[in-house]
Every structure is written in structure tokens, then in C-alpha cells.
């Protein structure tokens, strides 16, 4: 029991660092760690979403204090994801672990490449004009929510991608706003998995509580970081996780 608490605590610290600095979902740490500990992929996803709910609450608070959140955009994107997460969580229970783990690994590799690319080239913040950008943002967020429900990806980096295309804001505001959307999406996904009894509540609460503290601290540090540093850090984490999850898949074939 004490060993498990120690492992959950370590996972929580790492999750808080990742979420606080990048606004990314804790799924990239929690899901591989939970599956490595012997939990099914579905339990790992459900637990990860519970952790996201707890962790992102503190991160949203820090970015709100720093005036780095666009609440209108964050809630619009989160609203679309809320709907999609309910759909995804009820679909995922009928899909076996292996296909979901393969998709998860491929997504981690793609996100690693995108993060390194942004670290080198920066973000294009030129104003773009789209008809009904808020409606489009809501619609696009629905499939992001479906991915939340199936893979546990609360959509931090995907919400950032949507904001890069449709809206104009600086990278730190993107992170803060994405974290708000991620919080709404994670609440919906957690409710779906709780109904299906697919959450390790003890592990989720321990990891989430520790990551809340860790996330609060590192979110404050992130406000003073260079954007390139944030993206290099994020890319390194995505790449490491894709390797770890790939090894896990190969050992179960």
C-alpha cells in the first residue's frame, strides 16, 4: 500500500509539472504509468480524466490571476468538448485496449513533432478572418471531446491548435485558455467513466492532489518562461511517452 502511494505521488509530481508548464493533459503521464502498473487502458483513461479535473483547477486559477485566459473562447471550446466527451466515454467501453493504445502512441509521436516544430519556428499570430469563428470552434471541439472520452486526451494541445487557426492571442494565453477548456472536457469525461465504474478513485485522488500542488507551483514558473522552452519541454515528454507506450505494446503482442 505504501509503495503504491509513493508511486502515485511521483506520478502526481510529474503530471503537475507537465500540466503547469504546458497546459497539456496529464494523460500523457498518467495513462502509460497506470497501464504499466497493471490497470486496463479504460481504467487508466478514466483515472487520468479524474486527475485532470483536480490538477487543471489550480492551473486555471494561476492563469486567471495572471490574466492569461480568454474565458469566452475557453468555455465555447470546452462546451463542444463536453458534449463529445460523453459520446466518447460510452464508445470506448466497447473498444479493446490494443487499438486505443496504438492510436495513443501515434498521437504522442505527432504531438512531439509538432511541439519541436513550434519551438524552432514559433507561432504565427497573424490575424485570420473566419466566418462565425466561435461556432466553428464549438463544432471542432466536439471531436476533441470524443477523443477525450476514448483516449483520455483532455485536449490541451488540440485546443491550442484550434486557437492558433481561428483566434489571435499570445502563447501563454493559449495555454491558460486551453487549460480552462480542458477542465470542462475532463469533468464531462470523468462523469462518463464514473457512470461506467471505470475509475481508480484512490489512485486518481492521490495523483490529482499531488499534481494540483505541483501544477500550481510550475504554472507560476511557466508565466516567466520563454515560449520555445515550453515547447521543447512538451516535445521531449511526448517523445519519451511514445517510446514507453510503444515498448508496452510490443511486450503484450
Q: Give Cβ neighbours of residue 43 (< 8 Å, ≥ 6 apart).
A: 34, 198, 199, 200
Give the start-to-end residue ranges of the domains of the chain: 2-95+124-225
pTM of the model: 0.71
What was the pLDDT predicted at 201?
92
Is a pLDDT exceeding 50 seen at residue 73? yes
Angle between helix axes 2-22 and 41-65 (nearest 10 degrees) is 50
The pLDDT value given to residue 71: 93
Rounded CA-CA distance 88/151 in Å is 8
Q: What Rg value do the Cα atoms of the chain yield, rounded? A: 17
> What is the model's pLDDT at position 125?
47
Distance CA 209, CA 250 (A): 32
> Alpha carbon of 23 to those of 68, 142, 207: distances in Å?
12, 19, 17
Of residues 73 and 117, the one with the higher pLDDT is: 73
pLDDT, tens digit, 9 for 90 and up, residues 191-200? 888 888 889 9
**b/e map 169-181, b = 16+ CB within 10 Å:** bebbbbbbbbbbb
Residues 6+ away with beta carbon under 8 Å from 114: 157, 161, 235
pLDDT in tens, 121-175: 665 545 456 667 788 889 988 888 887 777 766 566 678 778 877 877 777 788 7
**Listed residue (183, 156, 147, 149) closest to 52, CA to CA:** 183
- Dig out the grid coordinates for 57 from the structure: 483547477
Check residues 47 and 89 and name the one with the higher pLDDT: 47
- Rounded Cα distance between 110 and 115, Å, is 9
d(CA 82, CA 231): 26
Amino acid at each position: 500500500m505504501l509503495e503504491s502511494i509513493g508511486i502515485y505521488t511521483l506520478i502526481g509530481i510529474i503530471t503537475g509539472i507537465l500540466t503547469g508548464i504546458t497546459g497539456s493533459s496529464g494523460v500523457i503521464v498518467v495513462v502509460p504509468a497506470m497501464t504499466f502498473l497493471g490497470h486496463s487502458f479504460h481504467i487508466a483513461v478514466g483515472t487520468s480524466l479524474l486527475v485532470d479535473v483536480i490538477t487543471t483547477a489550480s492551473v486555471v486559477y494561476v492563469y486567471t490571476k495572471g490574466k492569461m485566459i480568454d474565458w469566452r473562447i475557453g468555455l465555447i471550446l470546452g462546451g463542444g468538448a463536453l458534449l463529445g466527451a460523453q459520446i466518447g466515454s460510452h464508445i470506448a467501453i466497447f473498444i479493446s485496449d490494443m487499438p486505443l493504445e496504438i492510436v495513443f502512441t501515434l498521437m504522442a509521436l505527432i504531438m512531439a513533432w509538432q511541439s519541436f516544430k513550434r519551438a524552432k519556428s514559433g507561432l504565427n499570430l497573424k490575424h485570420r478572418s473566419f466566418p462565425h469563428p466561435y461556432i466553428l470552434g464549438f463544432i471542432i471541439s466536439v471531436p476533441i471531446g470524443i477523443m477525450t472520452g476514448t483516449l483520455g486526451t483532455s485536449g490541451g494541445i488540440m485546443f491550442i491548435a484550434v486557437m492558433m487557426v481561428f483566434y489571435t492571442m499570445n502563447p501563454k494565453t493559449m495555454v491558460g485558455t486551453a487549460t480552462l477548456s480542458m477542465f470542462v472536457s475532463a469533468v464531462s469525461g470523468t462523469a462518463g467513466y464514473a457512470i461506467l465504474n471505470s475509475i481508480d478513485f484512490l489512485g486518481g485522488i492521490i495523483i490529482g492532489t499531488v499534481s494540483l500542488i505541483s501544477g500550481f507551483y510550475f504554472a507560476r514558473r511557466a508565466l516567466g518562461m520563454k515560449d520555445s522552452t515550453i515547447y521543447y519541454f512538451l516535445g521531449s515528454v511526448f517523445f519519451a511517452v511514445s517510446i514507453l507506450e510503444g515498448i508496452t505494446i510490443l511486450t503484450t503482442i
